Structure 1
């Protein structure tokens, strides 16, 4: 069987599994966040935390809870790293340096998992398990909670501004979704030979008689949640390319499915919660279209044989595992940059200029195809609101999103959301490349005007793109252990995570304070148990008491529909246009120029 045929079979398997799980998992997650019942373990946690599970929060209180929880997470993780040398099970590893501990704590709290260190040499198993793995769970749960809060803002028909309870959403997302999925994936990885050990390592003698030591640890469990939660931080330097974490082609495709499954199925959750599954299918179609186009571009670029080494290998095989080859490496690379995962099974710095440039572009789109856990959904919903506003004005229709008016305040918040990531990427890249002290850290840079210096610019723009998008992958030729990169990338991760969250919750609050419009609406079959009420102008609207999973679907010819092929095409165009106008000049100085040499 040819490598291309094998790659197509893997792609077919991935799509088939996602298709089978899409409905049951998406609906299950909707029930998790919409349920009025609490599990026993959840009630225990509520009592410990003195949480009222029935208490509701406005967007301000919800945002303060998110920020407060994240600040405490940062302080605890920073302390664990600094005290590592005196904690048990340290394997004689000292405390982490202050700047590196700062960068790492921000990285894992923001769901970025950017690693400026070698895990085997720096982090103990205790730090990995108690510090980093815990953040893999809760940072992912935070993203899902924010996405659900935005959905509640859209759904809210009372106009009271309530978005639910962050603490309940955090606990339910962790206990009912992330933990069970991670357990299943970890068991599958164990059957394939992934390492799960409480030992710190073992000594061995190489064929030439040299004494060496190999690190072992709880790799399977860490690998599972780092993919399920779109985290990406590995326990080994070469991440998911290491056979201890990703031993077989089957484990590779399982991990690839794991990093896509929750973001993809959240579109079904969205459609189910708002009572119109066409909405979720439209978002899924947009994500699929962008993901498929990127996959085709990178696959073609990496299957070429430009240059002596590539011609001898038959393709761009440098930096890629022979176990996986071009197709599985490309499939993973597009998925990990399309989500906010950052885990890699091949070295992205070894990709061709066109292939590597496409991976950067995949992140610059905002990682909405399908995006990170929660972050991808609320990111594409922000773009959908912008599309409704622009499209509605162009055709002379009222800008409304599922019955909620999109006015000046709403579109201002959306615009601020969109501007955060470009500002961080472009400012960070510009400052870094003009600082003389950073040039030496560009591993593949050369004299000015040479292909090497162009690639060095690509390495820098990749770093800030990855940090500002909370991705975590990198072009490995750039050394980022200097104080400048540790601090500036840490700030990019911090602002790139929490400023968008604040704007998303602000939008949710604005929508939640609106009552649905009362103009004449065409109402689909909404079930026999719905109440109807008359208003002063004689029109009929659906009253507040609507079953959670059978809400009305309202199609009004005076507004732009937010489902279907036309809206999906407009949404794709908006995403591409915003990214193109913002980043084309910077891309032209790096990957595009490099590809043309």
Structure 2
């Protein structure tokens, strides 16, 4: 393990756990308290928005009406994002004159940003206009995050209310979360990032003179732009020299802030948070990592306050933290050891004054192994997907950690809202398992867990593994799926498995060796992203509606405590058990087999 990793991890968790309770209390008051003093400034605007949209803010929604509102709003959002991409060539704020995005890429991107995935099969600086980046992508970064938080508020109300017909009003939840939580926090984080050098402008791209000209080979093309070949079919090239480099510009800080805060992921530039214009310093890197976990951690305290037992929220947070620390340490250890094949090369993997230690391939030297491994664990534990290093360049076991964190359902903190409602579903599963052990009807927070609740729980838990494994099987068997693989064999399988795990779990990071910007992958991954989001949201809302209608039973001597160390271990074990039983065969074919191949290759040297 890198010597600086334990200190960095401890600093990160200390700051996070100091901020989370404060934000958790604010979240509850901002969304639930009509008379909260700190949000009084926005009440006139809030009321105006309700009148404009024809919303009755006092009307409660049953779970079916709430789910219909969620689906309708997000479907309209997908249509709007698709249209803006296809029309961007005729729209303003396009100084580079980018044309329309291709239909399959526009479809994939529209679904991706609406589903809070932000999978990107394109290079942002050479594809999207400033207007598309702001009006389509950044707006969805706000509202897709607000949708996830609204759904978890609905589920918490299910536990907190008794004999209730409604679980809240989606339009009120969406408005308050966006207006009072996401916009102020994102604005503050954008200013912090801008102070560190993250750019924010509307300038056209700039050409900078190189200190030293660079010679390179340029393909020869005919008048139509087609490559010219010789008699043997080989592409002809000619020598060229570059004297300038084009530097992309744009409104980056504003998008960077909400992409992290809303666990959206994606990036203004293709290199994502490894790009110096998105993440220039060690401090900006720490700010971005804190922004990813801030709301997911705070929501645990919001949960405890809303069910009137703060210990419940602390128990859920403890289970998340336990799993996260173990995974982050494994990633750092795997990257520092550099792997068996790399260890056989004549490099100083222990580090020296002239060379960083460990596996530095695909990592920025300004971050090193420790900050890169920690960022990778954070971004895949949450459904963020932003990266400051290329996960495809990680060692076999180091790359397995981000994949496994996604495959656990991204409930180890998880996305804004989605992480907590996923973990609460696992809590229902945990008390059900405990109930089977002692022959008692399971209860959680005073609510009996019966047949309907378990059916919804099973659907939520099995939807994403079904999408991941079936999607991977389709991609491996289809010629169009295999054509996108850069590295054949076990690593190529890992690239495909990672892509489907990322899409179905609404993460968005990638093993970038997979060429996924094709009609086949754009369609397959879009389907995984859409159903991975909304086939989970609907049963979660159904679970909320069923729980809200039930009375709360008083605790008795036989009631299992759900706030102590035993429950924390049971909850973490349930998450690991489901993940292990579901994905071990696939992981054995990918990263485990790749690691064993490396062991054999290292022994042969």
Instruction: Report the TM-score when normalising by structure 2.
Output: 0.89
- What residue is the counterpart of 1:561 in the other structure? 561
Contact in 2 for aligned 1:183/1:221 (Cα 8 Å): yes
Contact in 2 for aligned 1:398/1:558 (Cα 8 Å): no
Of 193, 198, 201, 2:197 maps to 193
Of 33, 36, 46, 2:34 maps to 36
CA distance in 1, matches of 2:13, 2:588: 33
- What residue is the counterpart of 2:347 in the other structure? 312
Contact in 2 for aligned 1:84/1:124 (Cα 8 Å): yes
Aligned in 2, Cα 1:81/1:186: closer, same or farther, shift over 3 Å? Answer: same
CA distance in 2, matches of 1:357, 1:311: 25
- What residue is the counterpart of 1:503 in the other structure? 539
SS in 1 for 2:510: coil
Of 476, 483, 498, 1:462 maps to 498
Uncovered stretches (5+) of structure 2, i.e. residues with no partner: 214-241, 350-357, 598-605
CA distance in 1, matches of 2:93, 2:410: 37
Cα offsets for 1:112-150 (capped at 9, x unmatched): 000000101110111001110000000000000000000
Q: How far off is 1:311 after superposition?
A: 5.5
Contact in 1 for aligned 2:485/2:492 (Cα 8 Å): yes
CA distance in 1, matches of 2:186, 2:91: 27
- What residue is the counterpart of 1:165 in the other structure? 169
Q: How far off is 1:437 after superposition?
A: 2.8
Aligned in 2, Cα 1:308/1:390: closer, same or farther, shift over 3 Å? Answer: closer
Contact in 2 for aligned 1:398/1:560 (Cα 8 Å): no
CA distance in 2, matches of 1:199, 1:50: 39
SS in 2 for 1:83: helix
SS in 1 for 2:267: coil
SS in 2 for 1:213: strand
1:396 matched to 2:454? The reply is no
1:288-437 mapped onto 2 (5 Å cutoff)? 288-305=321-338, 306-308=340-342, 312=347, 314=349, 315-437=358-480
Contact in 1 for aligned 2:5/2:332 (Cα 8 Å): no
Cα offsets for 1:559-597 (capped at 9, x unmatched): 222211111111111111111111111111111111111
Of 77, 80, 86, 1:76 maps to 80
Of 288, 291, 298, 1:255 maps to 288
Q: How far off is 1:201 after superposition?
A: 1.5
CA distance in 1, matches of 2:369, 2:130: 33
Contact in 2 for aligned 1:125/1:200 (Cα 8 Å): no
1:10 matched to 2:46? The reply is no
CA distance in 1, matches of 2:56, 2:3: 55
SS in 2 for 1:323: coil
- What residue is the counterpart of 1:475 in the other structure? 511
- What residue is the counterpart of 2:238 in the other structure? none
Contact in 2 for aligned 1:185/1:224 (Cα 8 Å): yes
Q: How far off is 1:308 after superposition?
A: 4.3
Single out whichever of 492-501 and 572-581 deviates more from structure 2: 572-581
1:23-102 mapped onto 2 (5 Å cutoff)? 23-37=21-35, 39-90=43-94, 91-102=96-107
CA distance in 1, matches of 2:501, 2:378: 16
Contact in 1 for aligned 2:20/2:298 (Cα 8 Å): yes
CA distance in 2, matches of 1:501, 1:172: 20
Of 250, 258, 266, 1:225 maps to 258
Single out whichever of 391-400 and 469-478 deviates more from structure 2: 391-400
CA distance in 2, matches of 1:4, 1:192: 26
Contact in 2 for aligned 1:153/1:161 (Cα 8 Å): no
SS in 2 for 1:236: coil
SS in 1 for 2:207: strand
Contact in 1 for aligned 2:480/2:520 (Cα 8 Å): no
Q: How far off is 1:245 after superposition?
A: 0.8
Of 115, 135, 149, 2:140 maps to 135
SS in 2 for 1:212: strand
CA distance in 2, matches of 1:71, 1:231: 18
Contact in 1 for aligned 2:150/2:174 (Cα 8 Å): yes
SS in 1 for 2:347: helix
Contact in 1 for aligned 2:410/2:419 (Cα 8 Å): yes
Uncovered stretches (5+) of structure 1, i.e. residues with no partner: 446-452, 522-554
Q: How far off is 1:205 after superposition?
A: 2.3
Q: How far off is 1:427 after superposition?
A: 0.3
CA distance in 2, matches of 1:161, 1:511: 10
Contact in 2 for aligned 1:397/1:559 (Cα 8 Å): no
CA distance in 1, matches of 2:474, 2:393: 25
SS in 2 for 1:272: helix
1:513 matched to 2:549? The reply is yes
Q: How far off is 1:397 after superposition?
A: 2.4
Contact in 2 for aligned 1:143/1:374 (Cα 8 Å): yes
Instruction: Report the TM-score when normalising by structure 1.
Output: 0.91
Cα offsets for 1:98-118 (capped at 9, x unmatched): 000000000000000000001
CA distance in 2, matches of 1:46, 1:6: 51
CA distance in 2, matches of 1:384, 1:404: 12
